[in-house]
Amino acid sequence: MEHNEIAVGLDIGTTKIVAMIGRKNEYGKMEIIGIGKSKSLGVHRGVVNNITQTIQSIQQAIQEAEADSGLKIEEVVVGIAGQHIRSLQHSDYITRPNPDEVIDSDDIYTLCNQVHKLVMLPGEEIIHVLPQEFKVDGQAEIKEPIGMYGGRLEANFHVVVGQVSSIRNIGRCVKSAGLELSAVTLEPLASANAVLSQEEKEAGVALIDIGGGTTDLAIFKDGIIRHTAVIPFGGNVITEDIKEGCSIIEKQAELLKIKFGSAWPGENKDNEIVSIPGLRGREPKEITLKNLSKIIHARVVEIIEQVYLEIKNYGHEEQKKKLIAGMVITGGGAQLKHLKQLAEYITGMDTRIGYPNEHLAGDSDTETTSPLYATAVGLVLNSLEQKNAKFQNQAGTVEQEVIVEEGTHSFHTEDENEEDEPTSTKSKAAKKSVFDKWAEKFKDFLDNAE
């Protein structure tokens, strides 16, 4: 197991920055060997708006993780979110020069690469191109075209697009904090990887990651990602409202929300009161818990309704697209009491709170399996899977199980053909060079941004 490398995920959120170091244990599960967390200053709604503060916060989280694990961190995988993310469906095809040869991963790479050349709006760039299903010579619904004969190969793609400047700024922060950026991943995809089981992805599920500044959404059906969206508000709007509604300072509002907050007002008796110390020399304030939960309730309903709108946009109401497994809520916002009941009440969908222990080793610390860390765990998982695939390439062995790890997908720009079982070492080498080319391109892009 000498390729038992470590991977570091950096989740740059609106309220906190988490650096997490993990490695695979001998059972193929992920062990967390270090974690660092700092208050995030300089990020607003998932987008960096103060470079200097963000750099300091990143350094603090990294130092803490290094102290925790005793390791030195050099490169990280970063999650991208924010209100500038949008996704679109696109279909594209290639005509193969020699239809008498079977389709291999190079063909799929060519096809994905073609989608990467799509003309976007000014200032946007493609972050992920994820093939959904393929068609070969007009025969539809093919999940795995490799090894088939055919002249025309086409596919439907889920394309995730983000703002160049926002991605550059994140790259800049990571670089200035003295780190290498090895890849960027869409945060809802990372969270989904950490929280959802394969069965849920098959049955159809919506993952909702309620963060501080944004709420991320990823919808899966038949094991394939179908829709992603970032809604530009999260737990912070609840805190803001408590602050305004009760005329108290933000720190107190946040504590109130965490300690006494509930999304279901009927729960509290009329006589339950919390007393909050006044500012210097002023009288303490008394707030009834019923009012508190009314304020929280109003905001949470708004968040869930927005999410439900996205789920309806995807087509949940059609029989074929029905999300049987309902919703899974994760992220810091998932810790709000009675959130599950409220979500079920509004949407009528089955709901559970998602803990990122799907692929974690059994003896993991309870703290790290909190929904707070879903994105960080997912980023580390994705990175490990990628390293695993890369290691396999270098070894030149055709161990399909390791690469295709039973349907665990690490959605990454580098791995467009990650669902395709490699048929030969040649295609693997090609895949590696593809990744390297992309990584170099990305690095140049960031260097030029300096």
Instruction: Report the distance separating Cα 312 and Cα 347, nearest Å.
Output: 10
Is the distance from CB of 75 to CB of 129 less than 8 angstroms?
no
Q: Which amino acid type is present at position 425?
A: T
pLDDT band at residue 426 using 50, 70 and 90 as cut-offs: very low
Q: What is the mean pLDDT of residues 9-36?
A: 91
The closest alpha carbon to 382, from 229, 227, 204, 188, belongs to 188
Instruction: Report the distance separating Cα 183 and Cα 9, nearest Å.
Output: 10
Instruction: Report the distance separating Cα 76 and Cα 268, nearest Å.
Output: 45
Is the distance from CB of 175 to CB of 446 less than 8 angstroms?
yes
pLDDT, tens only, 43-67: 988 889 999 999 999 999 999 999 9
Where do runs of H (alpha helix) occur along 396-424?
400-404
Q: What is the mean pLDDT of residues 411-430?
A: 41
pLDDT at 406: 35
Mention every residue, 6+ apart, whose C-beta is less than 8 A from residue 355: 195, 330, 369, 370, 371, 374
For the chain, the average pLDDT equals 85
309 CA to centre of own chain: 20
pLDDT band at residue 436 using 50, 70 and 90 as cut-offs: low
pLDDT at 196: 94
pLDDT at 148: 93
Q: What is the mean pLDDT of residues 98-119?
A: 91
Q: What is the DSSP string of 125-138?
A: EEEEEEEEEEEETT
> What CATH superfamily classification does 235-297 receive?
ATPase, nucleotide binding domain (3.30.420.40)
pLDDT at 449: 58
pLDDT band at residue 421 using 50, 70 and 90 as cut-offs: very low
Is the distance from CB of 415 to CB of 390 less than 8 angstroms?
no
The closest alpha carbon to 209, from 236, 240, 183, 231, belongs to 231
89 CA to centre of own chain: 19
pLDDT, tens only, 244-264: 998 899 999 999 999 999 998
- Cα dist. 393→1, 25, 216, 281, 428 in Å? 15, 20, 33, 68, 6
pLDDT at 437: 61
pLDDT at 73: 92
pLDDT, tens only, 200-245: 999 999 999 999 989 999 999 998 899 998 998 899 999 999 999 9
Q: What is the mean pLDDT of residues 338-350?
A: 94
Q: What are phi and psi of 334, to 5 degrees?
A: -75, -10
For 240, the enclosing helix (H) or strand (E) is helix 235-246
Q: Assess whether the region 6-83+166-233+300-380 and the region 235-297 belong to the same CATH fold.
A: yes
287-291, 300-304, 326-330: which range is least confident on average? 287-291
Annotated domain spans of the chain: 6-83+166-233+300-380, 235-297
Say yes or no: domain 6-83+166-233+300-380 is CATH 3.30.420.40. Answer: yes
Is the distance from CB of 80 to CB of 48 less than 8 angstroms?
no
pLDDT at 439: 63
